[in-house]
Every structure is written in structure tokens, then in C-alpha cells.
Structure 1
Amino acid sequence: MITGEKLISGCRLCGADTAGEPITDGLLRRCPSCQFVWTASDLPPPEQLYDSAYYETDGYQDYFTSARQRRYESIRRLRWLRSRVRPATLLEAGSAGGYFLRAARDAGIDARGVEVSDAAASFAREQLRVPVRTLRFEDHEQPVPVDVVCAFHVLEHVTDPWRFLAAARAALPPGGWLALEVPNIASAAAHRLGSAWPAIAPEYHRWHFTPASLARLLTDCGFDVVARDTTFSRFYWQAPARLRNVRNLLFADFAASRSLRVTHPGLGDLLRVFARRSGDGRTVDSLQARPRPSQRSIHERKHP
């Protein structure tokens, strides 16, 4: 539900004095200096957006009943994570219905989650029997540092990515790992499909990252980027989904990249990053206090 439009009086990534140039039929704005992209319309707080309807019809098609697909995605993400690090403890930010946590715990990892949606967190606890707290990750205080913080398709949703990453940093020891996956606005599919690219999702996604802008954000927030790549959505599709999407995303991917590989240095529509908490002595409070441009409404646009 879009409740209004906002004008950012400066880029929140580089601090440039700009309202951003409209792109993708005016749905998004892009900083002309650093190319950071944000959604033009204001959004309700996450607690209101991610109710049971989001998981059943609005954001997903029957998320809670598509267990086979969710398990498949989770196993692939866990395999990717363990290709770089073998954690004993793990904290997932935005753990949704808990499928990744279930896969991690089944692999012997002490995995726990934080989820803002009460509907999703309740499902994780009651149906999958995994430990999930219901609150914003930014408000979570981790009593003992964990080896890895994971966030899969979460950073684009949060109100304040800087505060979110400060919380992730606080949950890690120096050298601890952060594993992220977000949509890639610089992908082949995004360029080809424009406003029809499904991952724009302006009703839910506030921020839109490229490999360069995400790396800059992580560096600003006290992380060292160790590895990054992109993958195409079909990496997570089972056979029925591949057939359903062959005319849109699959064609767009191949037409721009001329490759049937599932990974690519920059053209895949999913951006994946491994980063480590730097040991430069910066405190969480100093990272949270970093000045950023303000937002001001240019007009209200109410929708039922």
C-alpha cells in the first residue's frame, strides 16, 4: 500500500544535494553522482506491511504452503554460505517463515532468527520449531556474538539500512561474517524489463542496490567486502517455475547476458555479497550517528 510520495533532499549514500532523477516510469529515483537508487513513494512501517496477507497473496503466492520450494531455496542458500564459511552459530535477520533456519539447524548450526512480521515469526516457531524473535532487527541486541549474520532479501525492505547494518555489526565479533542477498538494479533483467521487472516491487522495496552501491554502503558501515557475485533468479527455480518464467525473466536474462550460466559477475538479478566486520575500532554508536540527508514530503497521495 503506497501512502504518499517523498523527496529526499540529498542522496543518503553519498550526501549529494539532489532529489534524484526519475527512472523506471517515475517509480524510482537515482542519484546522478553515485547512482544510488531509491523508491519515489513513501511506505508504511514494516510492522504494517508484512502481515499475513503479504505472505499469502500480496507479496507471495501462498508462502506458508509452498514448503517444497522454500526448502529448495534454503538448501541452495546454505550451500552458498558454506562455500565461504562454516559457522557454528548464525543469526538470520528477516528470517520470514524460518525455512533457512530449519535447513541450517538440520546441518548442525546453532541458528536463530529475528523477524518483524508476527505472522511469519509465529509460523517459524510453531510449524518449523525454530527460535525466532518478533521485532525489528535494528532493535535486536545479540547477547553473545555469532559467527555469521545472514539477510536474504531484507536490506531492500528496511527503513534505515545504516541502522540495520550497525545492528548486524554489533552482533558479530571483529572478523565475523555478513552474508547478504538483494535484488540487483544493475541486472540484465532490470535493464531490459524496466518498470516491469518484478524485483522493483515499489510497494515493498525502499532501496535498490548495484554491486558498487552495496559495496560502498557496507564499507561505510564498518565492513570489508570479501566476495561478491550475482546470480539469476532461475538459480532458485524448480522445474515448474522455470516453465512459468521462461517468457519473461529467462528471456531477458539470456538476451542481455548471452549466457545460460546461473551466476555472473554483474548481470544477474540477485546480488550476493560476503563481507567481514572490520577491526578498525569504530563503534556502533558512531556508525548509527552518521549524518544523512533528511526526507520531506512533496505531496500526499492516498490509496485505499
Structure 2
Amino acid sequence: MADSQTHRSAECRICGSSVVFQFAARNEELWRCRACGFLQVAEEPSPETLDAIYSQSYFTSSKYKDDPVALSRENSRRLKMLSECADAHAEVLDAGCSTGDFVAYAKDSFQMYGNDYSEFAIQLAQERNPELADRLMAGRLEDSVWSDRQFDAICLWDVIEHIWDPVQALQDLLAHVRPGGAILLSTPAADSMMARALGVYWPFMTPPEHLSFFSLDAFKAAARAAGNCQVVSYSRRGKWANLAFIAYKMGRIAPKWFPTALLRPFQMWPLKKISIYVPTGDILYVVIRKATAPATVGSISS
């Protein structure tokens, strides 16, 4: 863990204001901005650490095993959100597309493209969507792998919390959104009651996998810092998940409380097939629109 004294005068990666130490989780220091409330991991992980995190096992663990009910309900929510922001058959980039679940779900409604940090994940996405293989690319989001193309919309489903410099990432993405186009995202809501109550035991508190934790105010500050865009809608929701995924999260966050032997039955049929809606309100959904489009702030439908 980094020396805390090194970071006491550090600046917020969003607004440049001073930050204050909050707590340590998984041997990483978390610091909160005094101005915008952005909660951030203090030390940037090395490329070697990122490669270890996003190895093949990350995409083949119980976290990513298919659950038709939970995946369908989540993707249905996301597709409805996208349909409210873009015309039918618009060109859409799923940035951080993982193994291509949403690409496969939305490809009949939109012209879908995708990229992900992991070459292994993209290989699986291409196998799942062979007709779109040339539209699915591996590479870091910040590297702007789609440098020669603009899109009507870009989706960031559970991605921005993995990014060290979210403002730069938003600026890179906005450069590839057509005027009036939208960026749609979901991310853990660090200002939710669940997050505040559980603290280091919050299921999404998994540094250095997650590096950036947003309240709504922090995300609005990030959008302002990125420039040329405006938050036009937002909501906080729970999540559909199967018992296997819930058990996976419990074991990862608090292994002493939830040892493998205790959670193993939840990974087995038929329990792992049971999906429930968990009304945590700790997932933030946001739409930002690139300049030239009218903007009204409010809540999106479920």
C-alpha cells in the first residue's frame, strides 16, 4: 500500500481539489475529494497488475457464467435506455464490451461495435458474434482504438469505475460521438445508502479492479471537466443477479465471513439458476449528450 503521507496533499483526478483519506480496502488507500466527492484509489496499478486482473480467469469465473434470466433483464433495461437515446439502426460502440453479451442482445436493433481491454474477451465476443468480428477490437479504452470513426452513441456498462482517469476517458469518447449523440453508462453509486452503510464491505469496493467511485455530483463534475457535454438523465437502481453471482461477490468481499465451503452450494444447480432483483439502489445510470442537443435533467424509466 502506498505511503499515506505521500497522498495527503494529492489532487482529485476529476476537479483538482484536495482529497482526504477515507479508508483502506484490499490493501489500497481510498481518498475522497473535498469538493466533488469523488472517491478514488490512491495509487495507479501497473500494467502488470492490470494484466493479472483481466486475465482469462476474470472472464471465465462464476461472475461471468451465463444466467439467461439475469442477463436478459439487465440487457433489456440497457437496450430500452439506448432506444430512448438513439434512432433504430444507429451506430453504437459498446466500450468495454467484455465477451459481447450486450452486443449480441442489441445487434438486431442497432449497428453494434465493441472494444475491450482483454484480447481473450474479444475473442469470445467474436466467436459469439462472427458476423461482427471486424467490428470487435481489443485495446485500452483510453487508446481510442476507433480513431477513424464516430458513433451515434457509446455505451459504458460497468466500465468507468475501472478507469484511472475518467475525465480523459470521457474526452476521448466524446471525440468519437457525433454532435448530439450520447454516452450511456452504468457504474456503482458511491453515494447510495448501501455503499455508505457497508463501506469496505460494499460488494463493489474491489480495488484495484475498481479505481473510481462516483456519486452523482462527482459524475456531473467529471462531465463538466470533460467539456462539450451535459448530463441529461440519471437514476439509481438495483440489479438482477443469480444466487451464484451474489455468493461470488460475498466471498470476494468478506472471505472470512463467507468461506468457500459455505458458499459452494449456491454455485450448484438448481440454486445457481435462481435470479432475484436486489433493490440496492447502488447502481448509477447516466446519460450525457454531446453539445448541440437539448438537455433536461431528470430520471430515466426502468
TM-score of Structure 1 vs Structure 2, range by shorter chain: 0.7 to 0.9
Gaps of 5+ in 2: 252-276, 294-302
Alignment match of 2:236 (pick from 198, 214, 230): 230
Instruction: Give the SS at the match of 1:21.
Output: strand
Instruction: Give the SS at the match of 1:199.
Output: coil
Instruction: Give the SS at the match of 1:201.
Output: coil
1:129-159 deviation line (CA, Å, top 9, x unaligned): 3431011122223423211011011111123
What letter is aligned with 1:204? E
What letter is aligned with 1:224? Q
1:196 aligns with 2:201: yes
What letter is aligned with 2:71? R
Gaps of 5+ in 1: 249-260, 281-304
Instruction: Give the SS at the match of 1:185.
Output: coil
Note if contact 2:63-2:245 (Cα within 8 Å) is conserved in structure 1: no
State how 1:1-304 maps to structure 2 within 5 Å.
7=7, 9-18=10-19, 20-23=20-23, 27-45=29-47, 46-57=50-61, 61=62, 63=64, 65-66=65-66, 68=68, 69-87=70-88, 88-105=90-107, 107-129=108-130, 130=132, 131-139=135-143, 140-222=145-227, 223-233=229-239, 236-237=240-241, 240=243, 268-279=281-292
State the alpha-carbon separation in 1 of the partners of residues 18 and 78 from structure 2: 38
1:10-50 deviation line (CA, Å, top 9, x unaligned): 122221244x2223667421122322110234423344431
Instruction: Give the SS at the match of 1:230.
Output: strand
* Aligned residue pairs, count: 255
- Shift in alpha-carbon separation, 1:17–1:27, aligned structure 2, 3 A: closer
What letter is aligned with 2:164? T
State the alpha-carbon separation in 1 of the partners of residues 208 and 231 from structure 2: 29
- Of Structure 1 and Structure 2, the greater strand share is in 2
Q: Which structure would you say has the larger RCO, counting Cα contacts within 8 Å and 6 or more residues apart? A: 1
Q: Name the TM-score, length of structure 1 as normaliser.
A: 0.74
1:109-129 deviation line (CA, Å, top 9, x unaligned): 100001111111110002333
- Shift in alpha-carbon separation, 1:262–1:195, aligned structure 2, 3 A: closer
1:30-74 deviation line (CA, Å, top 9, x unaligned): 1223221102344233444311121233xxx152x4152434422
Percentage of identical aligned residues? 26
What letter is aligned with 1:96? S
Instruction: Give the SS at the match of 1:215.
Output: helix
